[in-house]
Amino acid sequence: MSKETISQVKARLQEVTSLHDPYVQSIVDDQRKGVQQALNQLKRRLDRQRAAQAAFKQRFKYEDYYWQHGARYVAGMDEVGRGPLAGPVVTCAVILDSSFDLLGVTDSKQLTRHERENLYLQIVNEAVEVSIAVNDQDKIDQLNIYAATQDAMVRAVNNLHHRPDHLIVDAVPLTIDIPQTTLIKGDQKSISVAAASIVAKEYRDHLMRDYDRVYPGYGFAQNMGYGTKEHLAGLAKQGACPIHRRSFSPVPKYLK
């Protein structure tokens, strides 16, 4: 039996990355309940890691396919902010390479704010390139939200220094002379699109928190411009502010 305390065993197992580790083999016959519980926890942790790695590899299948068929640069694209009553639509193009290994990158809506903030910084640091384009409420009112989203996406691509050989776009086909794959729920199927969704959401959320300080009373820091109860109450009380979309109902009702 190991002379280590249960706490010491647990601490050492935190550093273990395989059940075949010599240390694991040395304590596997230790019948103390705490040691066996720690070993079971290790097995569950390693199982979760294997599942995460398998899911990550699956979400890289589109990028892998195009790389293997001659594409040097593949850009994933996504947008945030098509539905809100206020604020801009933000689009992002992200180019990754095969060394990218952030297992936590997935659909931004499945992540906590803290997780997104950490991943945002890591994505920007590890990506080959990131490009963001924004269309404000005036452009949205002028073009309509769908066309404004397409316009911003095309600008995000054209602003890249590395011209993509292929685009993977979440749901919105683009008029641009680059081969593209359009995926429904692309942020759940492609790592590049997921990375773009995280960057776009973090960028827009920061903008909306800034707008909340400029235009208080609508709850922009919490609702990000979506039509929540608090937001609608602010509209009824204060009327529309400069970042409200005049073409989105019920905003016209509150114009002064």
Question: Kind of pairing, strands 89-95 and 180-183?
Answer: unpaired
Q: Is the pTM of this model over 0.85?
A: no
Per residue in 160-207, pLDDT tens?
A: 999 999 999 998 999 999 999 999 988 889 999 999 999 999 999 999
Per residue in 84-123, pLDDT tens?
A: 999 999 999 999 998 888 777 765 677 788 888 889 999 9
**Looking at the domain assignment, is residue 203 inside a domain?**
yes
pLDDT value at position 16?
78
Q: What is the mean pLDDT of the chain?
A: 90
Q: How many domains does the chain have?
A: 3
Q: Coil, helix or strand for 5?
A: coil
Kindly list the distances between the CA atom of residue 182 and the CA atoms of 77, 190, 217, in Å, as whole numbers in the listed order.
10, 11, 39
Do residues 21 and 29 make contact, with C-beta atoms less than 8 angstroms apart?
no
The pLDDT confidence band at residue 21, using thresholds 50, 70 and 90, is confident
- Are 44 and 107 within one domain? no
Domain that holds residue 236: 216-254
User: What HEC string does 25-81 produce?
Assistant: HHHCCCCCHHHHHHHHHHHHHHHHHHHHHHHHHHCCHHHHHHHHCCCCCEEEEEEEC
Say which residue, 9 or 166, is predicted with more confidence: 166
**Looking at the domain assignment, is residue 1 inside a domain?**
no
- Are 121 and 89 within one domain? yes
